């Protein structure tokens, strides 16, 4: 299969990245990050989550962040909503695209959203209905597609079943999350082969955490399978509070660099993206996890 000519990047740093930080991060710094990202040409930014603040304290200020950002036309500003309560809060904050999140393993579903996979899908039904009534699009996530921190191996077949359900429910796209970053390129190709029989590939996205350093190889493997949407996190921020030891997503800067080298359009300005990553890394008091950003700053 030939590579796609264009890839859509879903920037998840402000959500997947910052949700896992121990230190408090102010609303102003979050707003600045989102604005820096849209200025760098990211057309889809996950800004925050409307989840229980007891479960994920870092996302508690998401409504304020939505109120503070400079909304550029043509940019999608999305939020996670695990249930109807979350969706209602998101709607009140003026959110026009949300995401529901399920898992491919039972143990992770319990730890992350306190219910079984089947219960979570049931819980999403009123979310889908209300979103549809308000003309809000819903993206779906499936976690632990290549392994679970509690259950170990996860079958591609099981992932395909959950993806099919989310699509049937009305999710316009389903993002496959390697939550703990254990996947390798061969497993990724097999996964998309199996899931691609249930959900058209143009409706699938890859979401690779880089814990084992495999994320860029996994993105390349996904491109070979015809996948053209990838989630990534500026400066490689992040992790999952319910997957101990899992590091951040693949760094957006490194993905853009890879895609540029392949002649694939993203619409993103790499220099602006690197700057956005350097700024938030300074706020967090540590070096960016993007290898490209580090290489560029070492050269300067
Ligand atoms: P629960 O405790 O079963 O919920 O949690 P509940 O319905 O029994 O409610 C309990 C309390 O939570 C109540 O408050 C509710 O009001 C409140 P109380 O009466 O005790 O004061 N509550 C809420 N508050 C704010 N917003 C809401 C909300 N819902 C209930 N939406 C629940 C169930 C789903 C709420 C909880 O488990 C939760 O919030 N989980 C979120 C976990 C999370 O955000 N994880 C990280 C994101 S997923 C991820 O990172 C993976 C991904 O990146 C892909 C990948 O890498 O794999 C997407
Ligand atoms: Mg994630």
Round to whole Å and give the CA distance between 98 and 259.
Answer: 27
The span from the first CA to the last CA of the chain, in angstroms, equals 39
| Nearest CA residue ID for atom 50, ligand 1 | 240
pLDDT value for 24 = 87
- Ligand 1-lining residues (CB < 6 angstroms): 16, 19, 49-52, 55-56, 80, 82-83, 85-86, 89, 101, 112-114, 141, 143, 177, 179, 207, 209, 240-242
CA 229 to the chain's CA centroid: 11
Is residue 239 packed enough to be buried (19+ CB in 10 Å), middle (13-18) or exposed (0-12)?
buried
User: Which residue has its alpha carbon closest to ligand 1 atom 25?
Assistant: 52
DSSP state of 17: I
Ligand 2 centroid–CA 296 distance in Å is 26
Going by alpha carbons, the residue nearest to atom 48 of ligand 1 is 101
| Coil vs helix vs strand at 69 | coil
Q: How far apart are CA 174 and CA 161, in angstroms?
A: 12
0.95 exceeded by pTM = yes
Tokens in use for 71? 């909304």
Ligand 1 atom at minimum distance from 209 CA: 56
pLDDT value at residue 240: 62
Q: What is the pLDDT of residue 251?
A: 97
Domains in the chain and their CATH numbers? 8-299 (3.20.20.70)
Mind telling me the catalytic residues?
Answer: 240
User: Given this model, what pLDDT does residue 112 score?
Assistant: 95
Mean pLDDT per 10-residue run, the chain (300 residues)?
94 96 92 98 98 96 98 98 98 98 98 97 98 98 97 97 98 97 98 98 98 97 98 88 78 98 98 98 92 91
Distance 179 CA to ligand 2 centre (A): 5
pLDDT reported for residue 239: 63
| pLDDT given at position 222 | 98
Task: Give the pLDDT of residue 68.
Answer: 98
> CA 85, CA 31: separation in Å to the nearest integer?
23
């Amino acid at each position: 299969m030939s590579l796609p000519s264009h890839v859509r990047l879903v920037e998840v740093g402000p959500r997947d990245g910052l949700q896992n930080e121990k230190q408090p991060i102010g609303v102003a710094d979050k707003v600045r990050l989102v604005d820096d990202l849209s200025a760098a040409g990211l057309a889809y930014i996950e800004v925050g989550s409307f989840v229980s603040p007891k479960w994920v304290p870092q996302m508690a200020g998401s409504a304020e962040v939505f109120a503070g950002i400079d909304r550029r036309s043509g940019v999608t500003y999305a939020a996670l909503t695990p249930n109807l309560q979350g969706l209602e809060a998101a709607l009140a904050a003026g959110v026009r695209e949300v995401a529901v999140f399920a898992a491919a393993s039972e143990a992770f579903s319990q730890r992350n959203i306190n219910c079984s996979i089947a219960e979570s899908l049931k819980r999403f039904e009123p979310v889908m209905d209300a979103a549809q009534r308000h003309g809000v699009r819903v993206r779906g996530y499936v976690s632990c597609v290549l392994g679970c921190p509690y259950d170990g191996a996860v079958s591609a077949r099981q992932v395909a079943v959950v993806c099919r359900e989310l699509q049937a429910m009305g999710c316009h796209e389903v993002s496959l999350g390697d939550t703990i970053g254990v996947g390798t390129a061969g497993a990724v190709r097999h996964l998309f082969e199996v899931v691609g029989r249930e959900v058209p590939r143009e409706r699938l996205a890859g979401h690779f955490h880089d814990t084992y350093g495999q994320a860029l190889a996994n993105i390349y493997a996904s491109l070979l399978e015809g996948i053209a949407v990838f989630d990534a996190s500026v400066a490689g921020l992040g992790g999952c509070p319910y997957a101990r030891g899992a590091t951040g997503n693949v760094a957006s800067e490194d993905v853009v660099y890879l895609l540029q080298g392949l002649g694939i359009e993203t619409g993103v300005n790499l220099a602006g993206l690197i700057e956005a990553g350097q700024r938030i890394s300074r706020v967090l008091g540590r070096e960016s996890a993007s290898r490209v950003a580090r290489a560029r700053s070492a050269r300067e």
